[in-house]
């Protein structure tokens, strides 16, 4: 049986995720995380449908992922897109630039991006706060300039609002109201612009509160950085963190309805925290991420590498890590090989937005065994399979999936469970997320899916 075959592959008895008490020190924290990973296999659920099932977003490729980068703070390559492309051995489809809200539209830079055969990605930051963002002449001029550029633009407005370090965080209602106003202005004036709503991978808990809604977001982005220590603190080791696990929450939550963008990805090879140069660390993380995206994360449709040596930057607080790849031959060669696949796109795809296509979907994260059954977060059924879920009076969960107008119903028990969800901002205290988990095999079969597996890959077919 499937369940028996899968259970054999699960290691250990009780998950570290069930531990309720916070750990006292970083060593214990790291040990708990390693224990957690040892007890869970690296499962991926793959879901395919028998008919077109997804409407493409603005500038979204039907398959593959745009290869992108940030090079404007790398003086060793003269901030040059052409030099970066040459070193990487491949043209990049998009480059990004930070623009403060209130600054003019970067028309000259956009022209340079187009001349490089790419399309622009603008990180537009209201650093003076959301109160400065109004439906006024500045906003409309910026949108009009975007229209005149006559090229699709990723507009990443007010990213990382889920943290406390930006001047536009702390008020989700105001954020959503402001975002929708900006969206509506660009939809009217510059409809080629794709609004990208981007969070940092942590903290997770505020993320949902800031989401403006599917009608107001074209792409969902996430910023992820692999460092050897958090906050430059040697007591906060983080080398064990997996870049894949760091994107799972956002990917699982939003990928069924929106293309996912890694708006910034960086990995350090040198940190002043311990003064150690560690090219192998950077190479391993780059290989792990870029080699895994095509099969495990097919809904990631763009990834931008952050090619910056923060040790040389003007902001003294950030002079901790060197994320650049272009000054280390070993790392740039690893990046070259990791991105060589034609899966990583060098050009804007000329797909019709709103086209209905058949997309593969995946779900990543913890699947656990309990009393001979495999369980997965209820969100898998409601988000990925888009089943209606209702808690019944007898304590079971009823799932309904509509199959050509015919309801398929599954009524299954649920269990409460805790899974590891990263770290708190102090970098030390573990953070657990509560989930309601449903029996995977039983529920999927009752909803009419065929199930097969290959090692740690579980396949659901409609």
H-helix or E-strand containing 226? strand 219-226
Q: Give the residue from 361, 310, 305 showing the smallest Cα distance to 63.
A: 361
CA angle 140, 110, 345 (to 5 degrees): 120
Q: What is the pLDDT along the chain (462 residues), one digit of tens a residue?
A: 333 333 333 222 222 222 233 333 445 445 555 554 444 458 899 999 988 999 999 999 999 999 999 999 999 999 999 999 999 999 999 999 999 999 999 999 999 999 999 999 999 999 999 999 999 999 999 999 999 999 999 999 999 999 989 999 999 999 999 999 999 999 999 999 999 999 999 888 899 999 999 999 999 999 999 999 988 888 888 898 899 999 999 999 999 999 999 999 999 999 999 999 999 999 999 999 999 999 999 999 999 999 999 888 777 777 899 999 998 999 999 999 999 999 999 999 987 778 999 999 999 987 787 887 889 999 999 999 999 999 999 999 999 998 888 899 999 999 998 887 766 656 667 778 888 999 999 999 999 999 998 988 999 998
What is the reported pLDDT for 401?
93
Q: Where are the alpha helices (DSSP H) in 389-452?
A: 440-446
pTM equals 0.90
Q: Give the residue from 346, 336, 329 showing the smallest Cα distance to 286.
A: 336
What is the reported pLDDT for 427?
63
Pairing of strands 65-70, 344-345: parallel
What is the reported pLDDT for 1?
39
Q: How far, in Å, CA of 446 to CA of 47, rounded?
A: 15
Q: Give the residue from 442, 461, 444 showing the smallest Cα distance to 380.
A: 444
Residue-wise DSSP of 123-179: EEE-TT-GGG--SSHHHHHHHHHHHHHTS-EEEEES--TTSSSSTT-S-HHHHHHHH
Question: Within 10 A of 174 (CB to CB), how many other CB atoms are there?
Answer: 14
Q: Give the residue from 228, 226, 196 showing the smallest Cα distance to 211.
A: 196
Beta bridge partners of 326: none
What is the reported pLDDT for 41?
57
What is the reported pLDDT for 425?
57
What is the reported pLDDT for 369?
79
């Amino acid at each position: 049986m499937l369940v028996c075959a899968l259970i054999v592959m699960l290691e250990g008895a009780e998950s570290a995720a069930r531990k309720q008490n916070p750990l006292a020190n970083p060593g214990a924290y790291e040990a708990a995380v390693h224990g957690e990973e040892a007890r869970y296999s690296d499962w991926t659920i793959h879901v395919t449908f028998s008919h077109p099932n997804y409407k493409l977003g603005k500038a979204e490729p039907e398959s593959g992922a745009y290869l992108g980068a940030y090079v404007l703070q790398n003086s060793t390559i003269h901030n040059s897109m052409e030099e970066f492309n040459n070193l990487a051995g491949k043209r990049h489809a998009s480059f990004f630039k930070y623009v403060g809200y209130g600054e003019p539209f970067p028309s000259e830079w956009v022209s340079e991006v187009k001349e490089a055969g790419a399309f622009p990605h603008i990180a537009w930051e209201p650093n003076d706060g959301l109160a400065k963002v109004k439906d006024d002449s500045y906003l409309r001029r910026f949108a009009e300039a975007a229209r005149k550029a006559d090229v699709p633009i990723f507009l990443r407005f007010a990213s990382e609002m889920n943290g406390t370090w930006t001047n536009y965080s702390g008020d989700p209602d105001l954020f959503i109201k402001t975002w929708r106003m900006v969206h509506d202005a660009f939809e009217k004036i510059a409809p080629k612009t794709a609004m990208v709503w981007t969070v940092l991978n942590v903290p997770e808990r505020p993320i949902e509160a800031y989401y403006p809604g599917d009608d107001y977001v074209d792409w969902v982005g996430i910023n992820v950085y692999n460092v050897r220590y958090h906050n430059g603190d040697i007591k906060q080791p983080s080398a064990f963190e997996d870049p894949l696990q760091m994107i799972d929450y956002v990917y699982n939550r939003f990928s069924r309805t929106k293309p996912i963008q890694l708006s910034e990805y960086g990995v350090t090879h040198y940190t002043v925290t311990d003064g150690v140069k560690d090219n192998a660390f950077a190479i391993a993380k780059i290989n792990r991420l870029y080699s895994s995206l095509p099969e495990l994360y097919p809904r990631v449709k763009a990834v931008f590498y952050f090619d910056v040596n923060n040790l040389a930057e003007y902001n003294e607080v950030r002079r901790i890590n060197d994320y650049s790849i272009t000054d280390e031959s070993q790392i740039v060669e690893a990046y070259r090989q990791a991105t060589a696949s034609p899966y990583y796109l060098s050009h804007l795809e000329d797909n019709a937005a709103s086209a209905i296509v058949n997309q593969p979907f995946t779900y990543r994260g913890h699947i656990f065994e309990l009393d001979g059954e495999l369980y997965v977060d209820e969100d898998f059924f409601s988000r990925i399979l888009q089943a209606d879920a209702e808690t019944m009076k007898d304590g079971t969960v009823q799932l309904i999936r509509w199959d050509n107008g015919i309801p398929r119903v599954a009524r299954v028990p649920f269990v409460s469970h805790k899974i590891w969800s990263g770290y708190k901002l102090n970098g030390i205290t573990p953070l657990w997320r509560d989930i309601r988990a449903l029996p995977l095999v039983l529920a999927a079969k009752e909803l009419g899916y065929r199930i097969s597996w290959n090692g740690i890959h579980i396949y659901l077919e409609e």
